[in-house]
Structure 1
Amino acid sequence: MSDRGIDARQSRLDLAEVISRSPWPDQVNNGEEGDYPYLANFSKSLPHNEFGEVDAAAYNALLRALSTQDNEDFERIPTGCENARRLINPQAGLAFDVEGPDPQSLTIPPAPRIDSARNSAEAVELYWMALSRDIPFTAYESHRLIAEAAQDLSELSDYRAPKIGGRITPATIFRGDTRGDLRGPYLSQFLLRDIQYGTLRIPQRQDTVSDADYLTAWDDWLAVQRGCQVEPERRNQQDRRYLRSGRDIAHYVHFDALYEAYLNAALILLDLNAPFDQGNPYVHTRRQEGFGTYGGPHLLSLVTEVATRALKAQWFQKWFVHRRLRPEAFGGRVHAHLTNLRDYSMIDSEVLESRALKATYGKFGTFLLPQAFPEGSPVHPSYGSGHATVAGACVTVLKAWFDESWVLPEPVVSNEDGTELVPFTGPDANRLTVGGELDKVASNIATARNIGGVHWRSDYTESVRLGEAVAIGILRDQVRVNHEAATFGLTRFDGTRMTI
């Protein structure tokens, strides 16, 4: 073997040695599966009775497959409908990876329980999100429904969201919890500005849909829990607008490629000639510039590469650790309890007594959580969110690559009907930094899934940190195997700075 061959082998052994020295976490769930069997966990597309409760034998068949990890056992899991929707990739979390942390070497905290005030608070937020999907973000400050939602959310005992003076306001409602999330317009500049894709300049006018909500009737809801196929939502290519409402951004995340927004962000930043992080070795060279390493091609491949690695880590959490109930299924439990179909008195009372539920019943005649998608959620457990995990990973790469403090020039915002972009001239116009707007785009995309009704707030907040951990591990491996002396500096989602 040549000297290069020996060195190549040793570099791979060195990366493997890092994994062997890393602490392996305990994987702990919230105990609901034992305390409330067959009622508080994900069971979509399995057989359900007339109350929407999963058949015990079918759920145990799912648990058996997860225990044996045998493909034939997964194939034997019963279905709730003929040609039922298929379970999404439960074996992904069993894969190994050759770069970054092992998918099972990371963890997220136990999810909020169905009997907790935190779960109630997250559910109340989802009902208000559903009720306000069609309100333009630019109208939040003056809209009566947003004021009512902010008041209701402010009174909850364990609502973990950004507040001003201890209260939710129209300026903080439905936003993420980083500093960047609270500056400027609701939507990140990276979801609005034109994208330069080679010789193609792409305005971010998106397909939009009208104000249709789904699964607000019991029979429709029950059929979807059983996995029955429904007519898919259609893209509307005749009505393309800039994103301007919860409905628009929920539709965006119904069809997006998971890393789409972050590849776009990378292209926007490269087009703007945004400065790289000072740890990039080619910032300081006179006769060389980066390309395959520490240049544009390296970045554009890396920002997408981390996505699938992050998904494997999250899919292990979803299927093998937490199996959290989807919000639509929880809405069914709430409806059954309040209409005396079943006694689910384990549900924390704050959601049952909220103004959000009263407003939902007044509009739809049921207490079911209105969904933005005809099929409701995907057929995999809720905790954590795949979109949020990918967001955390991709945004971490971008924050490490660019100078986070650089202020984006000439910020824009969509007008209320989404027909054009107008200059943003608010008090934060000169404070929209690369780092802040990257944190915001991660929050926007992850929260859009909540606005659609398919995820909880903690599915987002914990998952971006899991994605961040995956990306940090990959960036460390990149620094180890590349020849140049490089470092990456970045601000984590908790606000702390780190150097790789």
Structure 2
Amino acid sequence: MQNNANRGRSAGPADAIVDDPDTTVAGVATTAPDRDGEAGTAVAVPALAGSGFLRRGTGYRIRIRAANRAYQSLFPRHRDNGEHEEPYLASYSKGLPHDEHGEVDLDAYALWDRAMTDPSVAAFERVPRGLRDGRPQLNPLSAFGLDIEGPDSHGLVCPPAPRMDSPEFAAELGEVYWMALLRDVPFVEFDDAPALVRAAADEMSSFSGYAGPKQGGRVTPRSLFRGTSRGDLVGPFLSQFLLRDVRFGTHTIVQRQDTIEPVDYATDFGEWLAVQRGAARGVERDYSTTRYIQTPRDLAHYVHFDQAYQAYLNAALILLSSGIPNSELLDAGNPYRTTRGQTGFATFGGPHVLTLLAEVDTRALKANLYQQFVVHRRARPEAFGGRIEVQLSRDPGRYDGLIHRELLESGALDRTRAKHGSYLLPQALGMGSPMSPEYPAGHLVVAGACVTVLKAFFNESCPLPNPVVPDRAGTALVPYTGSDADRLTIGGELNKLAANIAAGRCMSGVHARPGTYQEGIRVGEQVAIGILRDQQPTTHEKGTFSLTTFDGDRITI
């Protein structure tokens, strides 16, 4: 595996100073060009409208300072968890040839590995496919692209994923099995603690490596499958931003969605093996029946067909049309928070925040795919389900010592075998996971980036009035009357939105959490912070962005 073990600075001028207008980067003069295009004296005053080359000089220096900031960043050493070795049992190999145990063909994997170290369209086309008409890989070359705004995608670190023989991994995969078992239990019933929900909470409490939220030192039905940031345990399981109507110009988008049959896939070893080799499988959608997200299966359905930043675009539109006064709605650093004769628009207004969501989305995906394809290359939960089935049923003892006993002895596996006839991880989607490695989750990195932008624009402490939940049928919204109804805030519900989207991917069976939750979300957060930092000096208002990170720190840009 390519580990990019460079320590220290990148190649090139090592002593570039960010705020010195007379420094150079890779031989490029940073002083402002004069009228004839030659390098001239740097201008120290802000450029005014119509001031020609003075304005160009200001823009030039802002670009150079941003470039210097990115250029000077110390490049990290990226580390995997040490499991990338033959026979690649924990390494992503979906779509390649596999033997009867679901283990990848070593010659095919060698070509896959070579394409990663010398990437090109031709190199990836030479990698053998498990099936002639199998699914294509998900844009691995994007991992090697560059961006000229925000941090370099190769300069962001995601720590090693838990090894498959660790208690942390046992807890992660055990939770995904429980999510599959609870796919059709409505979220509004979790607080009522039916027997299966209580069993899941009790077993998650018993996993020594569990890193998710607890209440009173235990996992409870209320904390089950939730996130770990401020606001995640307040109010209903689902964020208000996944429920409320969205005003989109002259249209009102009601957030009811089509449904899918309560059917689980890839629970037969032959079908599972075909999926690992790249078999394309569809899913039946019922367009005649719509309802609000009501169950884990509904949430899994949402995050399978969503556009990556869809939920956050909707959240922004909900807030912009909420009727909450700007003095309460907008971040304290927004220069138009209390103005009366003017308002934000292209800067510090609606078009600004909506455009930023798309910008951070694409950049977060590049950073994510670099971590997935190049650094970690971790297998998907569905692949590990195959390892468990082989170990416990098809070839007992084949993987002795490689899978933690807490997972192999879990009640979730016994219940899965009793329900489906195998220990394979039931998939909510016929084709299983996307054609990319597991860690970190792309939806999670995008969530970190987009929610960070929204928290920078809007006042996180502003209450969200009149909270709602779906009724028992899921076809209408009714008031949420919980004792914490008055504690739902913009910031808390945005954090919850990120956690919901991440959980939805796990509820599909295509990702695992909670141990990896904070790591992936931090990558997206750093992408957004870097882009906000680059954009802030380009605005004439010189407003600021302040936000609370997912770790609870308060920062101002």
- Shorter-chain TM-score tier: over 0.9
Per the TM alignment, residue 300 of structure 1 is displaced from its structure 2 partner at its CA by 1.1
Per the TM alignment, residue 193 of structure 1 is displaced from its structure 2 partner at its CA by 0.5
Distance in 1 (CA, whole Å) between partners of 2:449 and 2:534 is 14
Residue 392 of structure 1 corresponds to 448
Deviations, residues 170-203 of structure 1 (Å, cap 9, x unaligned): 0100000113110000000000001111111111
Does residue 1:485 correspond to 2:542, yes or no?
yes
Distance in 2 (CA, whole Å) between partners of 1:107 and 1:272 is 37
Per the TM alignment, residue 4 of structure 1 is displaced from its structure 2 partner at its CA by 2.9
Residue 24 of structure 2 corresponds to none
Residue 205 of structure 1 corresponds to 256
Per the TM alignment, residue 417 of structure 1 is displaced from its structure 2 partner at its CA by 1.9
Does residue 1:444 correspond to 2:500, yes or no?
yes
- The structure with more helix, counted as a fraction of residues: 1
Q: Taking structure 1 as the reference length, what is the TM-score of the superposition?
A: 0.98
> Which stretch has the larger CA shift, 351-360 or 20-29?
20-29
> Which stretch has the larger CA shift, 459-468 or 302-311?
459-468
Q: Note if contact 1:47-1:58 (Cα within 8 Å) is conserved in structure 2.
A: yes
Q: Determine helix, strand or coil for the equivalent of 2:336.
A: helix
Q: Determine helix, strand or coil for the equivalent of 2:140.
A: coil
Per the TM alignment, residue 20 of structure 1 is displaced from its structure 2 partner at its CA by 1.7
The within-5 A match list for 1:398-477 is 398-457=454-513, 458-477=515-534
Residue 377 of structure 1 corresponds to 433
Does residue 1:72 correspond to 2:122, yes or no?
yes
Q: Note if contact 2:260-2:283 (Cα within 8 Å) is conserved in structure 1.
A: no
Residue 282 of structure 1 corresponds to 336
Distance in 2 (CA, whole Å) between partners of 1:240 and 1:185 is 21
Letter of the structure 2 residue corresponding to residue 167 of structure 1: R
Distance in 1 (CA, whole Å) between partners of 2:240 and 2:88 is 43
The within-5 A match list for 1:233-272 is 233-272=283-322
Q: Note if contact 1:382-1:459 (Cα within 8 Å) is conserved in structure 2.
A: no
Q: Taking structure 2 as the reference length, what is the TM-score of the superposition?
A: 0.88
Per the TM alignment, residue 288 of structure 1 is displaced from its structure 2 partner at its CA by 2.3
Per the TM alignment, residue 284 of structure 1 is displaced from its structure 2 partner at its CA by 4.2
Letter of the structure 2 residue corresponding to residue 27 of structure 1: H
Distance in 2 (CA, whole Å) between partners of 1:38 and 1:391 is 30
Q: Note if contact 1:447-1:460 (Cα within 8 Å) is conserved in structure 2.
A: no
Residue 163 of structure 1 corresponds to 214
Distance in 2 (CA, whole Å) between partners of 1:77 and 1:91 is 14
More contact order relative to length (CA 8 Å, sep ≥ 6)? 1
Does residue 1:151 correspond to 2:206, yes or no?
no
Residue 350 of structure 2 corresponds to 296
Deviations, residues 138-195 of structure 1 (Å, cap 9, x unaligned): 1112311000111111111111110112111101000001131100000000000011
Deviations, residues 350-392 of structure 1 (Å, cap 9, x unaligned): 1100000000001001000000000000010000111111111
Residue 420 of structure 2 corresponds to 364
Per the TM alignment, residue 340 of structure 1 is displaced from its structure 2 partner at its CA by 4.1
Deviations, residues 251-279 of structure 1 (Å, cap 9, x unaligned): 00110001000000000001113410010
> Which stretch has the larger CA shift, 43-52 or 489-498?
489-498
Does residue 1:349 correspond to 2:405, yes or no?
yes
Residue 20 of structure 1 corresponds to 71
Alignment coverage as a number of residue pairs: 498
Residue 91 of structure 1 corresponds to 141
Residues 441/312 of structure 1: CA separation in 2 closer, same or farther (3 Å cut): same
Give the counterpart of 2:273 among 222, 238, 248: 222
CA RMSD of aligned residues (A): 1.2
Letter of the structure 1 residue corresponding to residue 543 of structure 2: A
Distance in 1 (CA, whole Å) between partners of 2:256 and 2:131 is 38
Give the counterpart of 1:332 among 365, 374, 386: 386
Letter of the structure 2 residue corresponding to residue 184 of structure 1: G
Per the TM alignment, residue 483 of structure 1 is displaced from its structure 2 partner at its CA by 1.7
Per the TM alignment, residue 7 of structure 1 is displaced from its structure 2 partner at its CA by 2.9
Distance in 1 (CA, whole Å) between partners of 2:450 and 2:308 is 10
**Higher gyration radius (CA):** 2
Residue 81 of structure 2 corresponds to 30
Residue 555 of structure 2 corresponds to 498
Deviations, residues 194-245 of structure 1 (Å, cap 9, x unaligned): 1111111111111111211000000000000011222x11332111001111
Deviations, residues 24-54 of structure 1 (Å, cap 9, x unaligned): 21111100013x5321110000000011000
Letter of the structure 2 residue corresponding to residue 344 of structure 1: Y
Deviations, residues 44-69 of structure 1 (Å, cap 9, x unaligned): 00000011000001111111000011
Residue 227 of structure 2 corresponds to 176
Distance in 1 (CA, whole Å) between partners of 2:289 and 2:395 is 42
Per the TM alignment, residue 286 of structure 1 is displaced from its structure 2 partner at its CA by 4.3
Per the TM alignment, residue 484 of structure 1 is displaced from its structure 2 partner at its CA by 1.5
